[in-house]
Structure 1
Amino acid sequence: MTSPSPGIGTVAPGFERVAAAFDDAVAQSSPGGAALHVRVDGCPVIDRWGGTARGGRPWTGESLAVLFSCSKGVLAVLAGTLVRDGLLDLDEKACHYWPEFGAAGKDGLTVRDLLAHRAGLPVLRAELRRSDVVDWSRMTRLLAAETPLFPPGATHQYHALTLGWIVGEVLVRASGRSIGELLADRITRPLEIPLFFGAPAGVLPTVAESVVLDDYWTDTPPNSGASDLERLADRALTLGHGLPRRFADPGEGFNDPVVQHAAIPGAGAIGTARALATMWSATVCDGERIRLLSDEVVAELCRPVSEGPPAVPAPGPWHRWGAGFMLSSERRPMLSASSFGHDGLGGQLAFADPASRVGFAFISNGLRLADDDRSRVVVQALREAVLDGAASPSTLQHHTPTR
């Protein structure tokens, strides 16, 4: 077996150490690959990739990948655009927009609660099949009728998959558009980026094939002696039989074209690193084709809502959330304390930093489910570069990216 090649692409002066950290991440992603895109004030300062995307084909700057829970960040930005335009009120009851959702004691939940993992619906009690998971109407009907597992609004518990349909249906009702149409209308067409909730059939053969690089996930469901957390985590990621436990085997789970073609905004968005970083850049600076969110909307979405121990006890440190945005924390450090974005299963991370006007995305199809420091090391190198002044206007004004 040949050793993986280092990353290729461009890097602006002052960001060389970030590119070097990424090259190490590419080596750790074999037999898969990875991509890194970083923008400052709307200007690309790193556009780099390496490794293998699919069927032995090398990763390129246009390679698409499943973004896993980075998808939730896309959904939160989409919600923010509706807040910006007065179509969505974060403190309005969710059932104001989606009346059926008020059933089974959920009538007091606000939109902000749903975005911050406080709906009490991280799993469904029904044993689902793939045909359910890829059916938007079926999933939203089931979630509307479901009784919460925890007191709604009183505590938080990560909604690994269900958040996508719960929040997504509120956005659909508020806008009158399907979730895929809404993303295209408000983000991808204005910014001219490839980013999808439900990838078109024509691009499916080009999506990078995900591969798990460790043995963290098994074929065997938790036994009767497993902890509540283990059983809940299993169902939150599989929805019974809706997705296989080996979710990245060839042609299975999120490698299944049927799943990739469906709108699963909690974990199934598909896009490039360039697209993801450009979207986040457009939330904090005016250098992109459009500005997606005002400073006021960003501040509102970043107001902490869920932090500390979750409903099902788990060892800390814990994630922190605003209204959909994952906030920088000890568990998931981003560029600075003011950064916001979302990470994704297997080591992916994307965020914006208002202080430095940075949009960042690291994506990989080589998924590490435990002890993964790839994005953390890249972010640390970026932090050092920014502190050294690499992101200053004088440094960037006339930079010529190098190969």
Structure 2
Amino acid sequence: MTQQITVHGAVAEGFETVREEFAAFVAGEREDYEGQLCAYVRGRRVVDLWAGAEADSLYGVFSSTKGAAHLVVALLVQDGTLELDRKVTYYWPEFGAEGKGAVTLRELLAHRAGLVGIDAGFSAEEMADDRAMAERLADQKPFWRPGTAFGYHALVIGALTGEVVRRATGHTLQEVYEERVRAPYGTDFFLGLPESEEPRFRSVQPMLPAPEQQAVLAAEPTGPHTLSSIAFNTHVPEPGTLADYANSRLVRAKGPASAGGVASARGLATMYAAAISELDERPPLLKPDTVAEVGQIHSVGYDLVARAHKSYGLGFQATADMWHPILGAGTFGHSGAGGSQAFADPRSGLAYGYTRRRMAFPGGAAPENERFVRSVHRAALAP
């Protein structure tokens, strides 16, 4: 007999349907399911649920890390330290090699630079080190004429924008994030997990595809010279898996800003709540004009890497167009390959975070997010 998973946590009055939705999903999952769901509305925590582990368990959140990375960039733009329409070479002269001299910071953030990887690929050690990747990327010829198209810079965007941050401030992106975002709020979203926090980390479990899912995977282009293989660094002799990447202590310790973050659902939701709402008696991190800028769609349509319709703001995904049409215009956030989802919807005041341990199929925001987001959003808008 299958052991039923217990749902823990609480919801605010008016959000009882969210708990029911979460519990119904968990009841139909495998007995080894682990996941967390958290949400704020205008700075008030209204959903805090978990099952299969603990409320403060930490998970590899893959590309949800990009949300933290580009919150840092947004703060520096807001400060005037960075200017979106300056050329990247103003901050990082070496970047201009091989025809990249005209690329602006805005284009870089919008996945328009054509610099999704390098011909020779990165070693596992380089993949954990943003500065090492940035140095090699500077010498790479772009894979399309910058500005003419866009494609997901899946594993390198944080290294690229992080090098701009380092050149402009003298500090790594991870250091700025720790000082201005994570430490002030004590949020469980780390770009560089301290050894002392390692006991809370739950290793990523790879997906176990059903036969029909295996058929879908087999039909995907897997040639070693495709743009997608270069972007995901699978064109190297021993590429490893995404689960291997997140389960690497070196990756967790260094916190590469594209996909090396570690978080709980509370950590994800708290960061986005702090971005748009008063939280802990602090004003929102981002001013309304900055919120509008980062959430404005800059790239939409056919993504050359993903080979599908995608939408990006400035370093963030345009979450309403890309994942959840029910959300307000200007919603910004980022999902992760393991199934995590996180975003801020400024129009409703909703900040959302979801994590799970076993990687979801086929990658990106896990399908259950659709029912959770709809339920939370409906409750947030209720009179």
* Normalised TM-score (structure 2): 0.90
Corresponding position of 2:290: 297
Q: Using a 3 Å threshold, how does the CA distance of structure 1 residues 93 and 266 change in structure 2: closer, same or farther?
A: same
- Asked whether 1:359 is paired with 2:344, we answer no
1:215-251 deviation line (CA, Å, top 9, x unaligned): 3898xx999x947799333332235449844332xxx
Corresponding position of 2:69: 75
Q: Trace 1:237-252 onto structure 2 (pairs within 5 A).
A: 237-238=232-233, 240-241=235-236, 244-248=239-243, 252=244
Counterpart code for 1:302: G
1:126-182 deviation line (CA, Å, top 9, x unaligned): 132212222333211101111101111221000110111011111111221122211
Contact 2:33 2:357 in 1 (8 A): yes
Using the TM superposition, give the Cα deviation of residue 336 of structure 1 relative to its aligned residue in structure 2, in angstroms. Answer: 2.4
Return the alpha-carbon distance in structure 2 between the equivalents of residues 353 and 312 of structure 1.
Answer: 27
Return the alpha-carbon distance in structure 2 between the equivalents of residues 37 and 261 of structure 1.
Answer: 25
Corresponding position of 1:6: 6
Using the TM superposition, give the Cα deviation of residue 310 of structure 1 relative to its aligned residue in structure 2, in angstroms. Answer: 2.1
Q: Using a 3 Å threshold, how does the CA distance of structure 1 residues 62 and 89 change in structure 2: closer, same or farther?
A: same
Instruction: Select which of 203, 210, 213 maps to 1:209.
Output: 203
Return the alpha-carbon distance in structure 2 between the equivalents of residues 347 and 102 of structure 1.
Answer: 36
Which ranges of structure 1 fall in alignment gaps of 5 or more residues?
A: 52-58, 390-403
Contact 2:159 2:256 in 1 (8 A): yes
Counterpart code for 1:238: N
- Asked whether 1:89 is paired with 2:83, we answer yes
Return the alpha-carbon distance in structure 2 between the equivalents of residues 289 and 275 of structure 1.
Answer: 18
- Asked whether 1:36 is paired with 2:68, we answer no
Instruction: Select which of 123, 131, 135 maps to 1:129.
Output: 123
Contact 1:204 1:261 in 2 (8 A): no
Contact 2:120 2:236 in 1 (8 A): no
- Asked whether 1:308 is paired with 2:309, we answer no
Using the TM superposition, give the Cα deviation of residue 30 of structure 1 relative to its aligned residue in structure 2, in angstroms. Answer: 4.8
Return the alpha-carbon distance in structure 2 between the equivalents of residues 278 and 313 of structure 1.
Answer: 29
Contact 1:116 1:324 in 2 (8 A): yes
* Normalised TM-score (structure 1): 0.86
Q: Using a 3 Å threshold, how does the CA distance of structure 1 residues 234 and 312 change in structure 2: closer, same or farther?
A: closer
Corresponding position of 1:257: 249
Q: Using a 3 Å threshold, how does the CA distance of structure 1 residues 2 and 209 change in structure 2: closer, same or farther?
A: farther
How many pairs were matched up?
Answer: 374
Q: Trace 1:333-372 onto structure 2 (pairs within 5 A).
A: 333=324, 335-370=327-362, 372=366
1:323-367 deviation line (CA, Å, top 9, x unaligned): 112113443116323321111113211011111211110111121
SS at match of 2:257: coil
Q: Trace 1:189-200 onto structure 2 (pairs within 5 A).
A: 189-200=183-194
Return the alpha-carbon distance in structure 2 between the equivalents of residues 170 and 25 of structure 1.
Answer: 42
Q: Using a 3 Å threshold, how does the CA distance of structure 1 residues 314 and 134 change in structure 2: closer, same or farther?
A: closer
Contact 1:229 1:312 in 2 (8 A): no
Contact 1:32 1:211 in 2 (8 A): no
Q: Using a 3 Å threshold, how does the CA distance of structure 1 residues 239 and 145 change in structure 2: closer, same or farther?
A: farther
Contact 1:338 1:354 in 2 (8 A): yes
Using the TM superposition, give the Cα deviation of residue 106 of structure 1 relative to its aligned residue in structure 2, in angstroms. Answer: 0.8
Return the alpha-carbon distance in structure 2 between the equivalents of residues 36 and 259 of structure 1.
Answer: 25
Contact 1:92 1:111 in 2 (8 A): yes
Return the alpha-carbon distance in structure 2 between the equivalents of residues 314 and 4 of structure 1.
Answer: 39
Using the TM superposition, give the Cα deviation of residue 210 of structure 1 relative to its aligned residue in structure 2, in angstroms. Answer: 1.0
Return the alpha-carbon distance in structure 2 between the equivalents of residues 18 and 125 of structure 1.
Answer: 46
- Asked whether 1:110 is paired with 2:104, we answer yes
Counterpart code for 1:160: A
Identity of aligned residues (%): 32
Q: Could you say what the CA RMSD is over the residues aligned between the two structures, in angstroms?
A: 2.6
Return the alpha-carbon distance in structure 1 between the equivalents of residues 317 and 63 of structure 2.
Answer: 11
Using the TM superposition, give the Cα deviation of residue 202 of structure 1 relative to its aligned residue in structure 2, in angstroms. Answer: 2.1
Specify which structure has the higher proportion of helix.
Answer: 2
1:287-316 deviation line (CA, Å, top 9, x unaligned): 34432100011111122110011235824x
Return the alpha-carbon distance in structure 2 between the equivalents of residues 256 and 320 of structure 1.
Answer: 30
Q: Using a 3 Å threshold, how does the CA distance of structure 1 residues 136 and 321 change in structure 2: closer, same or farther?
A: closer
Using the TM superposition, give the Cα deviation of residue 266 of structure 1 relative to its aligned residue in structure 2, in angstroms. Answer: 0.5
